[in-house]
Structure 1
Amino acid sequence: MNNELKKIALIGQPNVGKSSLFNRIAKKRIAIVSDMAGTTRDIRKHQVEILDRDAIMLDTGGIDETNDEIFSNVKRKAIECAKEADIILFMVDGKKIPDDKDKELFYELQALNKKLALVVNKIDNDNELERLWSFYEFGIDEDNLFGISVSHNRGTKKLFDWIAVQLPPREVVEELNIEDDEDDFLEDFLNPIEDINEQAESEEDDELRVAIIGRVNVGKSSILNALVGEERSVVSSVEGTTIDPVDETFEYNDRKITFVDTAGLRRRGKIEGIEKFALMRTKEMLEKANLALLVLDASRELVDLDEKIAGLVDEYALGTIIVLNKWDENMDTFQDLEEKVRSKFKFLYYAPIIAVSAKTGRSIDRLKDKLIEIYDNYSQRIPTSVLNKTIETATMRHALPSPSGNYLRIYYATQFETKPPRIALIMNKPNLLHFSYKRYLINFLRENMNFEGTPIHIIARKKGQRDLSDEELEEFN
């Protein structure tokens, strides 16, 4: 459906209020808003509803021109985004007089022959309306010039009315004529509503939501661009280019995949200013994700910060792939590099390691295939009969311990949750089962079933116990 919707691009210099307007139209706080110029650096997409008409909103980046490398990339991507859009909202700061840079960019957009509006923000009261006259020198028609204040919600209705006129109305679904189609109506009416809800829930749950995580400047944005096949994230050699997580959804092998390029993380003492928002938003995205690409720079030595970031992946119990980017710049063999990674990240022993080059595209398709495989492992449900047979074999090979002479017995096992797989052992004295035996059972399950890339949780319960204990809640949270 999204491919059929018209696209609206928000273009303008830094700190003119684009992200604030984006959030107001989207009716939720999606983009990070701050007084610091350059908070938004990548293209953010979101489906919006404007006066009962649907569209895709594209929020483009703006950045301090003193940072030449990033600024040139952001401006280039903003123009590319404008070319892709059907409607362009060019936003300026109404508290400043029009400058040549605004005019130059506006005329460049005007030449694209799109529906174009000049949105003058920060017109906070009636007295400031006089400043609108100075913006007529852009050569814009009066009908396409809007003085608004996003923070005070002034003038936005007129703007929204103009946008809605440019958008096609929603298709009207014809009412069902019961007399002409009575049999079909009765059949649909008699179908249980729960079945429909379950189907919708199943389809929604089948989406791969992949967080791309790593420290600054390891190539996360480059990998995102390589995976989706187009430049959606700004790439530069400047550390911390990505601030607001960028998401991009596409289909691969009939599966819907949403990638989230999270902000690069630094040591706590180096997190300053807007990056504190980035860290908070990164954790929010990890809560929503079900898979993670832990990106490491293979051309540099692994450091303790890499291990701490990997700990976040483990904390949120995500299906995981360790991605070695820039491996073509490393002189070590893959085997040597793999040994270093395994030694550093012992707790992610179940995660496959893939060496890629975002620059050349090497192994990017293999990475996509592996993501789907890991998600299937992450969301699989093992039949109870198979699970119990496997656990029984494991206990025969290595008997349950008898702590202080206590006889332990597992009555049966059942998988009570997926994403990640969580298995309950129903037994007589669950509090006496040592964590080392749980670890043995987890490893045995891995030997006999395909759980590559996914954590497995095992808890011990008494018969009839339904709620998790405080210790179990602590373990899962």
Structure 2
Amino acid sequence: MSKPIVAIVGRPNVGKSTLFNRLVGHRRAIVDDMPGVTRDRNYATVNKYEVPFILVDTGGFEPVTEDRLLQQMREQSQLAMEEADVIFFVMDGREGLTPADREVAGMLRKVNKPVFYLVNKIDGEKLELASSDFYSLGIDSMHTISAEHNRGINDLIEELMGILPHSPADDEDEITKIAVVGRPNVGKSSLVNKLLGFERSVANPTAGTTRDSIDTHFTCNKKRYLLIDTAGIRRKGKTTEKLEKYSVVDSLRSIERGDVVLIVINAEDGVTEQDSKIAGYAYEAGKACIFVVNKWDALQKDNASVGRFVDRIRTEFKYLPFAPIIFVSAVTGQRVPKIIQEVDKVMTQYARRVTTSDLNKVFTEATEAKHAPLASGRRVKFYFATQVGTKPPTFVIFTNQPEGIHFSYERYLANRFREAFGFEGTPIRLLFRGRERNKA
């Protein structure tokens, strides 16, 4: 089951990107006082709450405008509204209710989806009282929040968690879902055709031929698979056509649906910035990953070519040091059969569970060998760890200061778990909790 999508919409400069950053947990979107900074949709997978979801930030929504940029921003917002399961409509509590807010609210009343009306920038009692004017929109309820100061966010999340669908428990017998992603024209469809052994996708040298994800079921060595061939993900500045915008959304949904993501890179182009963005989507979604370097046959190579390319990938994708790398040619079939072998290996690790006793033996050794940095001048104490999920392997660690764990120490623990248990090809997710939560 793919994660639900929550879209943030509203006029320019009402604090949408600040709310996006607050919910994601780090500074992902560019925040500026100039209206219209966020021109395209910005996506992030939010995993820190009870129900994970995809959060979409949008450019400002101006209902009527002659300005082409604002028209494009409006189109982006409409696309986000169409693809979303839940909509956050953000308004500016300092500026007050505007005619544009009224028109957007009127449009949202026609949307058959849950809509949260958020009055942002409410930093004090005076603004809280003034916000009652927003009820004139004819809404039954609204949230007064300050995204910048974290005011009202907990109540908002609590209500959101109450309506988002919970993912069903993992089915150990389900088929392995393989998402094939990459920039346009890196050879994804040709690779899929070679894997399947027949012309299932239209392979065309013109970039952007595949607009929608195409699913194909197949069996190999008595194992069942679902291959998801996606549209190429272009740089945001080049997704100008409406169909291209939908293709980006569709590719991200395909990543969410997949268990193992094949990140296809064109050997002739080398590693590009967009390759890194695509891989980042897969990593943030918590998917098992394999780098597939296609068109390897087209290069002039020497004995050190593979080593140089591997070094480049490891340098550019430092957050994916665990992902295997395969050099293939979809045209000649060189090493293409090895892909399924690697998929099976990483899928085993992606769905792996370790015993609590083995886990805590490694956990205790790790925390004793290297103590966590002080948090707010206090020593961080660890109690125990337990695995709470797979796909990816997810661990809850109980501590006296769950908010005080430095990222570098979290990475240290993940590396120790990986050294002890493997987990090749899959990210490891660590969640830190206060000890009192275990008493519930």
Shift of 1:464: 3.7
2:226 equivalent to 1:254: no
Shift of 1:466: 6.3
Shift of 1:205: 5.4
Partner of 2:362: 390
Task: Provide TM-score, normalisation by structure 1.
Answer: 0.54
Inter-partner Cα distance in structure 2 for 1:214 and 1:202: 27
1:352 to 295, 310, 324: 324
1:343 to 295, 315, 325: 315
Moved more, 270-279 or 234-243: 270-279
1:460 to 428, 432, 435: 432
SS of residue in 2 equivalent to 1:248: strand
Deviations 1:100-138 (A, max 9, x none): xxxxxxxxxxxxxxxxxxxxxxxxxxxxxxxxxxxxxxx
Task: Provide TM-score, normalisation by structure 2.
Answer: 0.58
Shift of 1:203: 5.0
2:395 to 409, 413, 423: 423
SS of residue in 1 equivalent to 2:437: coil
Inter-partner Cα distance in structure 1 for 2:171 and 2:292: 28
Partner of 1:179: none
Partner of 1:407: 379
Inter-partner Cα distance in structure 1 for 2:281 and 2:373: 33
1:363 to 335, 355, 371: 335
1:275 to 222, 244, 260: 244
Shift of 1:206: 3.0
Inter-partner Cα distance in structure 2 for 1:310 and 1:237: 23
Change (3 A) 1:217 1:357: same
Deviations 1:148-179 (A, max 9, x none): xxxxxxxxxxxxxxxxxxxxxxxxxxxxxxxx
Inter-partner Cα distance in structure 1 for 2:420 and 2:355: 14
Partner of 1:97: none
SS of residue in 2 equivalent to 1:281: helix
Inter-partner Cα distance in structure 2 for 1:232 and 1:204: 28
1:88-237 superposed matches below 5 A: 206-237=174-205
Inter-partner Cα distance in structure 1 for 2:311 and 2:271: 12
SS of residue in 2 equivalent to 1:260: strand
CA contact (8 A) 2:234 2:248 kept: no
Fraction of identical pairs, as percent = 39
SS of residue in 1 equivalent to 2:353: coil
CA contact (8 A) 2:196 2:218 kept: yes
CA contact (8 A) 2:293 2:326 kept: yes
Partner of 1:68: none
Shift of 1:349: 1.6
Shift of 1:262: 0.3
Partner of 1:376: 348
Deviations 1:430-462 (A, max 9, x none): 222222111101111111111111011112111
2:270 to 301, 317, 328: 301
Shift of 1:346: 1.4
Inter-partner Cα distance in structure 1 for 2:364 and 2:172: 35
Partner of 1:131: none
Shift of 1:394: 1.2
Inter-partner Cα distance in structure 2 for 1:383 and 1:231: 45
Structure with greater helix share of residues = 1
Inter-partner Cα distance in structure 1 for 2:292 and 2:221: 21
Inter-partner Cα distance in structure 1 for 2:348 and 2:221: 13
Deviations 1:351-376 (A, max 9, x none): 11111111111112211011011111
Partner of 1:312: 281
Inter-partner Cα distance in structure 2 for 1:346 and 1:201: 31
What is the CA RMSD across the aligned residues, in angstroms?
2.0
Deviations 1:174-221 (A, max 9, x none): xxxxxxxxxxxxxxxxxxxxxxxxxx9765753211110000100000
